[in-house]
């Protein structure tokens, strides 16, 4: 049975995109139609779903940010028409903890009327550690991770072909220890933002080239005449990473120490896992 597959993702540093593209390739190799939608480019992506009249299978990918999916993804799910259809959420995470991102995405999709058929959490290089010589999950996702995505695609298609399309039970995604679950529930991107000085360019170094505004995946930066960053900033730090003048201060060493400390405390199995 062929059905339309829509792969919607958000990927500031590119690893979620890599997984999304691999899923698209695996689906097409099996004769399926697969359309990829990047939420950073298509800000109003949900609108393109409004005209949809046939049920489809939605593959939805987000990086884990502070133990949850990126808020933009949650807004996207909330604005989808209640058409029904199938869904497969997937997250990439940097070997600290995947937190509640995957169960929350699955729950949101179910609330919107989707039947969640499968899910995945994929190890991916930690995008806050680009200055480190050996970042957590360096080089991931790799061929082994993508082979698991191929298995996920096969098993989801087999479920759809089988007709019954049995939903993934919510208990399968209840994999965190109670301690970690409580910690994750108390954590949020908004909370972390409130504890830090806002991301800002040093005007002595900034050349007003506009590169930061160009690479910002949430369009949070405008030049006036120096970069002004609004509240939609998600701390992805693409501005910092791509600034040719090094105008965005970033203490990579301190960030690394903090993140390694959190990773050491997390008892979550640091591996890619699929759930069907």
Ligand X SMILES: Cc1cc2nc3c(=O)[nH]c(=O)nc-3n(C[C@H](O)[C@H](O)[C@H](O)COP(=O)(O)O)c2cc1C
Interface ranges with ligand X (CB under 6 A): 11-16, 63-67, 92-97, 99, 124-128, 235-237
Q: Which CB atom, from 85 or from 99, has the smaller least distance to ligand X?
A: 99
Q: Which CB atom, from 85 or from 108, has the smaller least distance to ligand X?
A: 108
Q: Return all residues near 247 (Cβ < 8 A) that are at least 6 apart.
A: 201, 202, 203, 205, 206, 207
Three-class SS state of 214: helix
Q: Which CB atom, from 96 or from 176, has the smaller least distance to ligand X?
A: 96
CB of 272 to ligand X, least distance (A): 11
CB of 217 to ligand X, least distance (A): 8
Q: Which CB atom, from 99 or from 108, has the smaller least distance to ligand X?
A: 99
Q: Return all residues near 83 (Cβ < 8 A) that are at least 6 apart.
A: 49, 52, 53, 55, 113
Distance, CA of 185 to CA of 67 (rounded, Å): 8
Please compute, for residue 4, the number of CA atoms within 13 A of its CA located in the half-sphere on the CB side. Answer: 11
Q: Which CB atom, from 32 or from 272, has the smaller least distance to ligand X?
A: 272
Quick one: which of 110, 124, 141, 106 has its CA closest to 64? 124
Distance, CA of 146 to CA of 16 (rounded, Å): 11
CB of 151 to ligand X, least distance (A): 20
CB of 240 to ligand X, least distance (A): 10
Distance, CA of 105 to CA of 111 (rounded, Å): 10
CB of 66 to ligand X, least distance (A): 5
Q: Which CB atom, from 208 or from 241, has the smaller least distance to ligand X?
A: 241
CB of 81 to ligand X, least distance (A): 26
Distance, CA of 241 to CA of 129 (rounded, Å): 10
H-type alpha helices, the chain: 15-29, 45-50, 71-78, 101-111, 143-161, 178-186, 189-195, 211-215, 238-242, 252-265
Other CB atoms within a 10 A radius of the CB of residue 151 amount to: 15
Q: Which CB atom, from 90 or from 114, has the smaller least distance to ligand X?
A: 90
CB of 150 to ligand X, least distance (A): 19
CB 227 within 8 A of CB 209: no
In the chain, the N- to C-terminal Cα span, in Å, equals: 19
CB of 146 to ligand X, least distance (A): 14
Q: Which CB atom, from 52 or from 132, has the smaller least distance to ligand X?
A: 132
């Amino acid at each position: 049975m062929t059905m339309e597959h829509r792969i919607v993702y958000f990927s500031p540093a590119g690893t979620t995109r890599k997984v999304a593209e691999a899923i698209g390739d695996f689906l097409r190799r099996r004769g399926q139609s697969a359309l990829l939608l990047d939420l950073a480019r298509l800000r109003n992506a949900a609108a393109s779903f409004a005209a949809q009249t046939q049920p489809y299978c939605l593959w939805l990918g987000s990086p884990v940010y502070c133990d949850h999916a990126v808020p933009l993804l949650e807004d996207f799910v909330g604005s989808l028409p209640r058409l029904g259809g199938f869904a497969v959420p997937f997250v990439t995470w940097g070997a600290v903890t995947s937190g509640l991102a995957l169960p929350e995405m699955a729950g949101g999709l179910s609330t919107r009327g989707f039947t969640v058929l499968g899910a995945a959490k994929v190890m991916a290089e930690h995008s806050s550690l680009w200055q480190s010589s050996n970042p957590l999950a360096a080089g991931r996702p790799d061929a082994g991770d993508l082979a698991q995505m191929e298995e996920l695609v096969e098993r989801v298609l087999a479920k759809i072909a089988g007709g019954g399309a049995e939903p993934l039970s919510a208990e399968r995604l209840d994999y965190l220890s109670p301690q970690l679950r409580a910690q994750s529930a108390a954590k949020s991107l908004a909370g972390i933002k409130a504890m830090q000085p806002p991301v800002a360019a040093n005007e002595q170094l900034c050349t007003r080239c506009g590169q930061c505004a160009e690479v910002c995946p949430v369009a949070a930066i405008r030049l006036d005449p120096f970069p002004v960053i609004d509240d939609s900033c998600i701390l992805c730090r693409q501005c910092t990473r791509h600034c040719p003048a090094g105008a965005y201060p970033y203490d990579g060493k301190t960030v690394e120490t903090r993140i390694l400390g959190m990773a050491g405390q997390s008892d979550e199995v640091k591996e890619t896992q699929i759930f069907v």
